[in-house]
Amino acid sequence: MVVVEWLGRKSKAITEKIMRGNPGKRKIEVLDLPETVDLDGADVPPIKEYMTMQQKDGKKLCADEIYTETWLWLKERGCEKLG
């Protein structure tokens, strides 16, 4: 049986370090981010042809419906202009 004994003081929990602020006492660098461009969201972009094609088994590929539903869901939340 091997017994491991730690020497020194037990390290502090990460939560305690975070609550103290800057635990490493390093100089904090503040970055100035450039202003963002105000982007306008568009209506649903045109659906690609491959999303409306039939599958090999003859069934309709529902990708166009999923694409449209997802776009409208994103637009309701103001996320259509991201990405």
- pLDDT tens by residue, 24-53: 777 878 878 777 666 566 677 777 887 778
What pTM did the predictor assign? 0.42
- pLDDT tens by residue, 55-83: 888 888 888 888 888 888 888 888 877 65
- If one compares 76 and 17, the residue with the highest pLDDT of the two is 76
Q: Are 21 and 60 in contact (CB under 8 A)?
A: no
CA distance 58 to 60: 7
